[in-house]
Amino acid sequence: MITGYRFHETSWEEVTAGEEPDWLDLEKPEPDELAELASRLDLPPHFLTDPLDPRERPRLDDETGCFLIIVRAPLIREDLQSCFETVPLGFIQTQGRILTICREPGLVKQFLSRQTRKPRRISGDSLIFKAFIEISTDFIHQLEVLEDLAEEAERHLSKSQHNDQIMTLLTIEKALINYSVALHSNRAILEKLMSRVAFPLKEEQVDWLERALTENQQAIFTVEIFGQIVGSMGDAFGVIISNNLNKVMKFLTGVTIILMVPTLIVGAYGMNVSLPIAERWWAFYALSALCLALSVAIWVFFYRKKWI
C-alpha cells in the first residue's frame, strides 16, 4: 500500500486527489506498485525492493540524484517468539520528497506520532532523523522487556527441573545478538551521515543526529553488559537445574534402598520352603513390624547423613 502525505508545521495529513505529496509511505507494497513508482519517479528499482528484504543490512546508497538510507528497527509484538526481531526500514530522498519503505505496516507513522523528542517542524529531513532517535529508543525499551524476562526466569529457576527457563534465556541471547548486530550497523550509518559530504547537514540536523548517536550508543552499551549477564546466568542456570535433578535422583535412590530391605524379607518368606517362625500365628505381624522398624531405621540414618 502506498499513501501520500503533505507536511504542515507540526503535523501531516493525507493528500487528496491532484495534490503532490511531500512524503510517500510504502507499507508492504505490491510488486506492480513498486514498478509503477520507480518508473514515475525515475528511481533505481533496487532502491524500492532492497528495504523489503528481511535480511537486508543497514547501508547508504547514492545513485542518479537519489539517496537511500536503510536502517534496522526493532519490532514490538506480544508473541515471545517473534517480538524480538528487527526489520529493515528504508528512506529515499528524491525530487524534493521523502519515501519510506517497510514490510511492517505503520512502523514509520508510529515513530512520527510520538511526542518524545519531537522536532519543532515536520519535514522530510526531520522525519528521517526523528525515526533514527525513536529506533534507538525502541531498542532500549525492548532491552528492558528482556531484562524483565530474565528476572522472571531467575525467580522460577531455583525449584525447576525443566528446560523452560533455559529456553527463555536462549530466546534472550538470540535477541541480544540480533540487537547487537542491528545497533552496530545503525551506528555506522549514523556516523557516515555525520561526515558525509554528499549529504550536507544543517545545525539542527546535526543536533538530531548527535542525539540519535547518543541513544544508539546507550543501547549498544546496555546490550553488551546485559549479554555478559545473560551468559553468566545461562551457565549458572545449567548448574542449578543439574543440581536440582541430582537432589531428586538422590531422594529416589534413598527410597529405593529403604524399600529393598522389607522387599528382601518378604520375598524370602514368600518362598515355598521351611523357614523360622513360618508356622507361628503371629509370624505375619512380627515380619511386618520388623520390616517397618528396619525401614524407619534406615530412613533416620539417611536423614541424619543428609543423604535424602
Q: Side chain identity at 36, as an amino acid letter?
A: E
C-alpha cell at 150: 530474565
Sheet holding 59-63, edge to edge: 12-14, 2-7, 23-27, 97-102, 86-94, 66-74, 59-63
Confidence (pLDDT) at 119: 46
Looking at residue 210, its pLDDT comes to 84
pLDDT at 118: 46
Residue 161 confidence (pLDDT): 57
User: What CATH number belongs to 2-243?
Assistant: 3.30.460.20
Residue ranges in the chain whose pLDDT is less than 70 = 7-13, 17-18, 76-83, 112-126, 157-163, 196-200
Q: What is the pLDDT of residue 78?
A: 60
Share of the chain above pLDDT 70, in %: 85
Beta strand 59-63 with 12-14: parallel, antiparallel or unpaired? Answer: unpaired
What is the distance between the alpha carbons of residues 229 and 227, in angstroms, rounded to a whole number? 5
Is the CATH number of domain 245-304 1.20.58? yes
Equal CATH topology for 2-243 and 245-304: no
DSSP 65-91: TEEEEEEEEE---S-TTTTT-EEEEEE
Contacts of 102 (CB under 8 A, 6+ apart): 26, 27, 28, 51, 52, 73, 87, 88, 89, 90, 108
Distance (Å, whole) CA 67 – CA 54? 20
Q: What is the pLDDT of residue 265?
A: 83
Domain definitions of the chain by residue range: 2-243, 245-304
pTM recorded for the entire structure: 0.71
